[in-house]
C-alpha cells in the first residue's frame, strides 16, 4: 500500500502551476529548476529550496488549488492515503491563519471526494516563529479538528532552532482538540531531541529521526516506547542527514524494533515520490514482502485517520494479503543514490 505520512504541501507544487501563479511570469521549466535540488547539502540549504514556493501561496484560491492538485497527484500515483504538512503562518500575511488553513482543507477535500483517496491536513508550527504565533496556529488548527485537520506538527530548521520547550503550549492546545501530534526531531539535531519531543510535547510520531541510532540508550527507548518514526530516506540524503543512501538508518531502526512509517517529504525538490521510496526499501535495503506488510500495518495504526477510514484501509490491506504495490524506479525519474 502507499500510505504517505510525511509530505509537505509546499514541496508538492507543480512547476506548471507555479508558472501560472507567478505574478512575475516565468515558465514551467524555470520553476522546475527553481524548486528542484541539484545535489545533497544540508537542512538549511534544503529548506531554502522549499521556500522558493512560498510566494505562490499569497492568495486563498492559490492555496486551495495547490492543495487540491497535491492530493490529485498522490491519488493518480496510486496512493491509498495522504497526510499533508502545511505551515500556514508563513503564508498568512493579511489573509489570516484560520482562512489559510481552511483554503488548504477545501482543496484537499475536493480532491479526495473526486479521487476516492482519503487525505488529512497536518498543521505545522515552525521553529523560528515566536511562541505566540505558534499558539495562534494551534488554536486555528484546533478549530478545524474533525473538519479536515487531523494533526499538529513542529517543522523548520532544527539546527538553527533546537529549543522545544517554548512550543509546549501550542501542543497542549492541539492535544486538547484531539489532534494527532508529531514533530520533526533528531533530523539535524541529536538523538536526544526525539525523546525530548515525546516527553515535552506529547507527540506519538517523530519526523525523520535519523540520529536516533546514534545513541544506543535512545534507540532502546524508541523501541520500548512505541514511538513511530516517519522515515524519508531520499530526503534525508538531500538534507545531509545521511552521507549515503546505503548508510540510512531505516534498517537499523527496524531491526531494533522501532515502528516505522514512510513519507516522501518534499517530492518536487527531490524528484522522488512515495512509490519510489517504498521501492528503495526493497531494492537497496532488501525488505521482504512481510516486512513491507508490517510497514503498512504500522502506517494504518499510526495515521491520524478517522475511524471509518482506518477500518477501510485495514480491510483493503487484508484483501491485498501483503502483496506489494511498489513501483520500480527504472524509469529514471528518481536520483541515482550513492
pLDDT recorded at residue 23: 83
d(CA 195, CA 212): 9
* CATH number of this structure's domain 3-320: 3.20.20.140
Quote the pLDDT of residue 336. 56
Q: How far is CA 114 from CA 32, 71, 119, 252, in A?
A: 27, 10, 12, 39
Query: How far apart (Å, rounded) are the C-alpha atoms in residues 92 and 192?
Result: 33
Q: Tell me, what's the pLDDT at 338?
A: 66
Estimate the crossing angle of helix 97-115 against helix 60-76, to 10 degrees.
30
Question: Which residues are designated catalytic?
Answer: 187
Beta-sheet strand order (sheet of 119-126) = 3-8, 81-86, 119-126, 149-155, 180-185, 205-208, 228-231, 259-262
Helix (H) or strand (E) holding 39: none
**10-residue block means of pLDDT along the chain (338 residues)?**
97 96 87 93 89 95 98 98 97 95 98 98 97 98 97 94 97 98 96 98 98 98 98 95 93 98 97 96 95 97 92 90 46 51
Domain boundaries along the sequence of the chain: 3-320
Helices then strands (H, E): number in the chain?
16, 8
Question: What is the four-CA torsion angle of 57, 60, 62, 65, rounded to 10 degrees?
Answer: 120
The confidence score (pLDDT) of residue 326 equals 45
Q: Pseudo-torsion of CA 197, 199, 204, 209, nearest 10°?
A: 40
d(CA 102, CA 149): 9
In the 3-class helix/strand/coil scheme, how is 238-287 assigned residue by residue? HCCCCCCHHHCCHHHHHHCCCEEEECCECHHHHCCCHHHHHHHHHHCCCC
Determine the pLDDT at residue 334.
46
Phi-psi region of 242 (alpha: psi -120 to 50; beta: other; left: phi over 0): beta
Q: What are 180's strand-pairing partners?
A: 151
Tell me if the pTM is above 0.75: yes
* pLDDT of 332: 39
Amino acid at each position: 500500500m502507499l500510505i504517505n505520512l510525511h509530505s509537505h504541501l509546499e514541496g508538492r507544487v507543480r512547476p506548471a502551476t507555479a508558472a501560472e501563479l507567478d505574478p512575475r511570469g516565468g515558465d514551467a521549466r524555470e520553476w522546475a529548476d527553481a524548486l528542484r535540488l541539484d545535489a545533497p547539502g544540508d537542512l538549511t540549504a534544503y529548506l531554502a529550496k522549499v521556500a522558493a514556493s512560498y510566494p505562490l501561496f499569497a492568495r486563498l484560491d492559490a492555496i486551495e488549488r495547490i492543495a487540491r492538485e497535491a492530493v490529485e497527484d498522490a491519488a493518480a500515483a496510486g496512493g491509498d492515503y495522504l497526510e499533508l504538512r502545511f505551515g500556514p503562518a508563513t503564508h498568512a500575511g493579511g489573509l489570516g491563519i484560520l482562512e489559510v488553513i481552511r483554503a488548504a482543507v477545501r482543496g484537499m477535500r475536493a480532491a479526495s471526494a473526486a479521487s476516492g483517496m482519503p487525505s488529512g491536513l497536518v498543521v505545522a508550527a515552525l521553529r523560528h516563529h515566536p511562541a505566540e504565533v505558534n499558539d495562534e496556529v494551534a488554536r486555528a488548527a484546533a478549530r478545524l479538528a474533525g473538519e479536515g485537520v487531523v494533526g499538529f506538527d513542529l517543522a523548520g530548521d532544527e539546527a538553527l532552532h533546537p529549543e522545544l520547550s517554548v512550543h509546549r503550549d501550542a501542543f497542549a492546545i492541539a492535544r486538547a482538540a484531539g489532534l494527532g501530534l508529531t514533530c520533526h526531531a533528531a533530523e539535524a539535531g541529536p538523538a536526544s531531541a526525539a525523546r525530548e519531543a515525546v516527553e515535552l510535547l506529547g507527540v506519538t510520531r517523530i519526523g525523520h529521526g535519523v540520529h536516533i541510532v546514534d545513541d544506543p540508550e535512545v534507540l532502546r527507548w524508541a523501541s520500548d516506547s512505541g514511538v513511530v518514526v516517519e522515515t524519508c530516506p531520499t530526503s534525508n540524503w538531500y538534507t545531509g542527514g545521511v552521507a549515503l543512501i546505503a548508510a540510512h538508518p531505516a534498517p537499523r531502526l527496524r531491526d531494533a524494533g522501532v515502528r516505522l512509517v514512510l513519507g516522501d517529504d518534499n517530492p518536487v525538490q527531490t524528484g522522488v515520490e512515495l512509490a519510489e521510496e517504498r521501492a528503495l526499501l526493497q531494492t537497496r535495503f532488501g525488505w521482504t514482502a512481510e516486512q513491507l506488510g508490517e510497514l503498512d500495518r504500522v502506517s494504518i495504526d499510526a495515521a491520524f485517520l478517522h475511524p471509518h477510514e482506518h477500518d477501510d484501509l485495514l480491510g483493503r490491506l487484508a484483501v491485498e494479503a501483503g502483496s506489494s504495490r511498489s513501483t520500480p524506479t527504472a524509469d529514471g525519474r528518481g536520483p541515482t543514490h550513492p
